[in-house]
Amino acid sequence: MASDVRDRLYIDGQWVAALGAGTIDVVNAATEEVMGRVPDGTAADVDRAVGAARGAFAMWSGTGPEERAKVLRQITEGLQTRMMEIATVISQEVGMPINLAMLIQAGLPIMTFGSMADLLQTFAFSEQLGSSVVVREPVGVVGAITPWNYPLHQVAAKVAPALAAGCTVVLKPSEVAPLSAFILAEVIDRAGVPAGVFNLVTGAGQVAGEALAGHRGVDMVSFTGSTRAGRRVSELAAASVKRVALELGGKSPNVILDDADLAHAVRDGVAKAFINSGQTCSALTRMIVPRGRLAEVERLAVEAAASYTPGDPLTPGTRLGPLAGAAQRERVRGYIRAGIDSGAKLLCGGPEAPDGLERGYFVRPTVFSDVDPGSVIAQEEIFGPVLSIIAYDTESEAVEIANDTVYGLAAAVWSGDQERALVVARQLRAGQVEVNGGSFNPLAPFGGYKQSGNGRELGRFGLEEFLEVKSLQL
């Protein structure tokens, strides 16, 4: 029985009934039981929310950076008080182990709202340029459409900078994992954010999402999700020539050079491939290694993968939870079968359910070797705990393999020589490259090349996405 039933949308500062009668079940990834329910919002609900956002824009865009920073800090504090609740809900929806969910799913959104408040203290909204004053102004009403794999983090990466810029927002979260968005709406409401500045409409992507992307009252749409869906968002947005920011798929390479600390690089690489059960757009799913050290890499990868025993994400010590849903589980198992059929060497894992876990959307942690760089499992985003090991003979070949996909979101390079690693990193066509395991920086720009999207999120670059530039000629 659903324990978290949400029967209202948040529009114009009020919790209101949806105009349609439909609802969407939210399913616990580990038990396959319904854990919550949200309204199935319609195009009419989106229209109401956009109208509220347009009505609030003049007031909110006219506030000063100090006032907006104060509001963002109140939101940050509100999220901090509900950190465990956020982590638990997302762990159940998505399957991320609770210890990681506390750090990532709950921790990163708090950091993002706080960092935007800090940034407003120093960001230059105007500058003198010769005989002109160049000013940066909010783009307007923002439609934010977010995914299920990092549900609140991706919401925060759009909502926080949009509010900081002086924009008003209509949020359409993923229907797979929407519950943390309601927690955020409650926090925003209690923080005293003026009516209409933030609005929440849940619903199916094909209905509410498309209505938001194509709405002529929306000045910008920021979307995170699959490349296929991103193309559709762009098509809908083009009718009104609105600004579009897209953070899409990835097939990220992990280039291990012949002088790298192999044990460290492989262990880290397996972890980066399997984080959130592989449900990460920037996951390092292609490990590109020297052919002469392939056997050693295979042994180390199997040893590392063995420590990722699938289990209940709410149990302390679990390192690999389930996938987010039945469709995703079948998709990943299909890719594993495709890898076997292509002739790749299956080192561990496989398409069968893990022992003792027939219930829940679990997949075995899987590692392939001898993977053809042009094969399906080396080219397409799987979004599950599946790692492909690809051998190379020369450094230039390694770079060529790394760049030979339609994606360019993230990458990694390992070398015993930092300068050599940086030379290779600069050759990789990706928006973010880890060098020798460099840690994620929430202030650095995040986004991709090629079909991984356009625009950047987080830090100063994320704020600038929501600003127009105007020249005042004096």
The residues annotated with a catalytic role in the active site are: 247, 281
**End-to-end CA separation in angstroms for the chain:** 66
Q: How far apart are CA 85 and CA 4, in angstroms?
A: 12
What one-letter code names the amino acid at 202?
T
- Yes or no: say if 213 and 421 are a contact pair by the CB < 8 Å rule: no
DSSP for residue 178 = -
Residue environment code for 289-318, b if the CB has 16+ CB neighbours within 10 A, otherwise e: bbeebbeebbebbbebbeebebbbbbeeeb
What one-letter code names the amino acid at 259?
D
Alpha carbon of 322 to those of 106, 151, 311, 312, 411: distances in Å?
19, 16, 7, 8, 25
- Yes or no: say if 87 and 105 are a contact pair by the CB < 8 Å rule: yes
- Yes or no: say if 462 and 161 are a contact pair by the CB < 8 Å rule: yes
Q: How far apart are CA 127 and CA 237, in angstroms?
A: 31
Share of the chain residues as helix, strand and coil, in percent rounded to the nearest 5 = 40, 20, 35
Sign of the four-CA dihedral 178, 239, 159, 48: negative
The pair phi, psi for residue 177, each rounded to 5°, is: -140, 70
Q: Which residues are bridge partners to 221 per DSSP?
A: 143, 244
Per-position DSSP letters for 328-379, written without gaps between them:
HHHHHHHHHHHHHHTT-EEEE--SSPPTT--SSS----EEEES--TTSHHHH
Q: How far apart are CA 157 and CA 446, in angstroms?
A: 10
Reported in sequence order, the residue ranges of 110-232 that DSSP labels E, i.e. its strands, are 126-129, 132-138, 141-145, 168-172, 198-200, 220-224
Non-local (6+) Cβ contacts of 461 within 8 A are 445
- Yes or no: say if 463 and 159 are a contact pair by the CB < 8 Å rule: no
Residue environment code for 204-241, b if the CB has 16+ CB neighbours within 10 A, otherwise e: bbebbbbbbbbbebbbbbbbbbbbebbebbbebbeeee
